Amino acid sequence: MPTPVAARFWDATGKLALYSFRREGFEAAVRAAQLYRELGDDQRRFDALIFASVQGARYATVAQMESGIAEAAGLERPEWPARQRASLPFARCWWLARQGRIEDALAAAQRQAAICRDGGAEVASLYAVANITTMELLLGRWQEALEHARAAIARLHALSADAGAGHNYQSEMIALIMLKRLDEAWVAARNAYPRLLREGDEYRMLLSLALLNAREGRLDVAMRIVGFDTALGHRIGDAVNIFAALYRKELDPLLARLPADERSRLAAEGAALTDEEVFKLAYGDAL
């Protein structure tokens, strides 16, 4: 293939996989950045570097993420569209979160939303609120996250753009679980799943769904979901889950009520489930 065609192919693959648990998306973005470097196409190289850095929160080292972000920062131009320029603090947000610097990550997420808003990209700024609420959740600010997520969802609905609000609904769901408002959490969960499924990011919901089921006493369901999630991690290369510690802090004491041999049996059963089966199990009659 001619280099420009190959570069566009790998760039598109990296972009499509931006929010997904697909290691090949990360690898495609890295490859696209290299090809655009050879072609001298700085604007497309910038995008590919951002795609790689954001997915690097799951698949790269902190140093690799930092290197890609630094290279992208050196390419940025003030005349570029707001949404494109806002992607740099988006990448920085996840690089900082990966290091546990959550307050700094929150500031980066707020910067991302502000650049989009000030540049007239309102829908993009509302989607970016999901990064703000994610960091608020990691900081234990349940009520703030809930209020910000719901405000963004309401505005996206008014703009007929809530098809892309999956991550906002996910933040709403988590905040409600932590606030022990479980009936409302199921409503948010039903809204989040089909939207995240379209983006390939439905796996993000697994541990939150396990916690929601466990909170309602369905420990066997929760343990099977955890088993599936663990097996999934091995299949996709043990991706980093920045949220895992938050969920497991709440989830593990509940699952500890099950005998050890039963936990092992249920985890093995969960590992054998298909994607469709695990989500059907997780939602039961709620989907």
**pLDDT, one tens digit for every residue, the chain (287 residues):** 999 999 999 999 999 988 877 888 999 999 999 999 999 999 999 999 999 999 998 889 999 999 999 999 999 999 999 999 999 999 999 999 999 999 999 999 999 999 999 999 999 999 999 999 999 999 999 999 999 999 999 999 999 999 999 999 999 999 999 999 999 999 999 999 999 999 888 998 999 999 999 999 999 999 999 999 999 888 876 567 788 888 989 999 999 999 999 999 999 999 999 999 999 999 997 66
Predicted local confidence at residue 21, as pLDDT: 77
pLDDT at 81: 96
pLDDT of 220 reads 97
Which amino acid does the sequence have at 228?
Answer: F
Angle at Cα 16 formed by Cα 14 and Cα 18, nearest 5°? 65
**Polymer length of the chain:** 287
How buried is residue 86: exposed, middle or buried, by Cβ count under 10 Å (0-12/13-18/19+)?
Answer: buried
Count other C-beta atoms under 10 Å from residue 198's C-beta: 13
Question: What is the predicted pLDDT for the residue at 233?
Answer: 84
Spatial neighbors of 132 by CB under 8 A, at least 6 apart, are 106, 109, 110, 113, 148
Look at residue 239 in the predicted model and tell me its pLDDT.
Answer: 66
Query: What pLDDT does residue 199 have?
Result: 86
**Mapping DSSP to helix (H, G, I), strand (E, B) and coil, where does residue 248 land?**
helix
Separation of alpha carbons 104 and 100, rounded Å: 9
